[in-house]
Amino acid sequence: MPQNSLSSRYPEDIVYSSPLSVAVEEQRRNALTLVRDALDQRRCILAFQPVVQARMPKRAAFYEGLIRIIDHTGRVIPAVDFMDAVETNELGRRIDCMALEIGLDTLAREPSIRVSINMSARSIGYPEWLATLERGLRSAPDIGERLILEITESSAMLMPDLVTVFMQDMQERGICFALDDFGAGYTAFRYLKDFYFDIVKIDGTFINGIAHNPDNQILAQALVSIARHFDMFTVAESVESAEDARLLVDMGVDCLQGYFFGAPATQEPWKVSHLKSRMTG
């Protein structure tokens, strides 16, 4: 029988996917199952990373709460391993709900700290996420003043009008907003005036190794100047060396975040007596 006749007779035998695409799709399905099971069983925690004051690095300005899920063996899975697979579907919204719920509970237990929680602009229209936020704000009068919501550039630009209105409403209730991954290439600077972010977090691609990268020094200084023009507080992400930290302090960055000052930890870092400064070592 001619090959084309066989192909037309048995179309299910024709495989167009490459082995790589099949493997990627299987990995995505596994990630979705892992996240769904963890959410259903509430096997989720936050890992907290300190964001320190640039000129007083022993003092944390706030802590970023980063979602982690726990698999059935007890292994802690970081968001980088599953967030791409869930970001655009309902599991992404459920992850945002869980992170916000844990963050608000943490603020209620620890009245001396501020915590930032990551969110997608997509969650603004998700009823359960909004209900979680309202419950938390009602639980204690000062919770809103100690909560920071972080939105990435790419997420904010998906629906700028919705984000702007939401931010204005929540800022009246004391919540601060941070623009994450600032400078990564998505934001039209004309929107900065309309967004009124309180904080901008300069993307780590400009920061890591900046002491030896003159191009990134120029770019980071420009981002700091833009943020200062709009009265926005600046945080440098991915600070991993004393040289980088000192240069960023001299540049006028307000806060520093990165492994040099502390890795994300599931053990609550504010219970440690003080943050160790290594900048003078």
In sequence order, what DSSP letters do the residues of 164-197 get, joined into one string? Answer: HHHHHHHHTTT-EEEEEEETSS---GGGHHHH--
Q: Which of 101-110, 153-162, 201-210, 236-245 has the lowest mean pLDDT?
A: 153-162
CA distance 138 to 173: 11
Could you tell me which residue, 272 or 158, shows the higher pLDDT? 158
Q: Which CATH class is domain 17-271?
A: alpha beta
Other beta carbons within 10 angstroms of residue 136's beta carbon come to 19
SS3 for 32?
helix
Lowest mean per-residue pLDDT among 6-15, 31-40, 118-127, 192-201: 6-15
Mean pLDDT taken over the chain: 88
How do beta strands 233-236 and 199-202 pair? parallel
Q: What are the structure tokens assigned to 17, written together? A: 């996917």
Please compute the mean of the pLDDT values over residues 192-214 and round it to a whole number: 92
- pLDDT bucket at 5, cuts 50 / 70 / 90: very low
pLDDT at 153: 81
What's the pLDDT score for residue 154?
A: 82
Q: Where are the domains of the chain?
A: 17-271
Q: What average pLDDT does range 156-175 have in this prediction?
A: 92
- pLDDT, mean of residues 191-196: 78
pLDDT of residue 3 exceeding 50, the answer is no
Percent of the chain residues topping a pLDDT of 70: 85
User: To the nearest 10°, the Cα dihedral for 164, 165, 166, 167?
Assistant: 50
Contact 167, 177 (CB under 8 A): yes
Residue linked to tokens 């084309």: 4
**Backbone phi, then psi, for 270, in 5-degree steps?**
-70, -10
In this prediction, residues 95-108 reach a mean pLDDT of 97
209-245 per-position pLDDT tens digit? 999 999 999 999 999 999 999 999 999 999 999 999 9
Buried b (16+ CB within 10 A) or exposed e, 140-174: eeebbebbbbbbbbbbbbeeeeebeebbeebeeee
The residue-averaged pLDDT of 136-152 equals 93
pTM over 0.85: yes
pLDDT at 174 over 70: yes
Over residues 10-37, the pLDDT tens digits come to 444 444 557 666 555 676 778 889 999 9
pLDDT at res. 50: 97
Is the pLDDT confidence value at 130 over 90?
yes
DSSP E strands: which ranges in the chain? Answer: 44-53, 56-70, 76-78, 115-119, 147-152, 176-182, 199-202, 233-236, 255-257
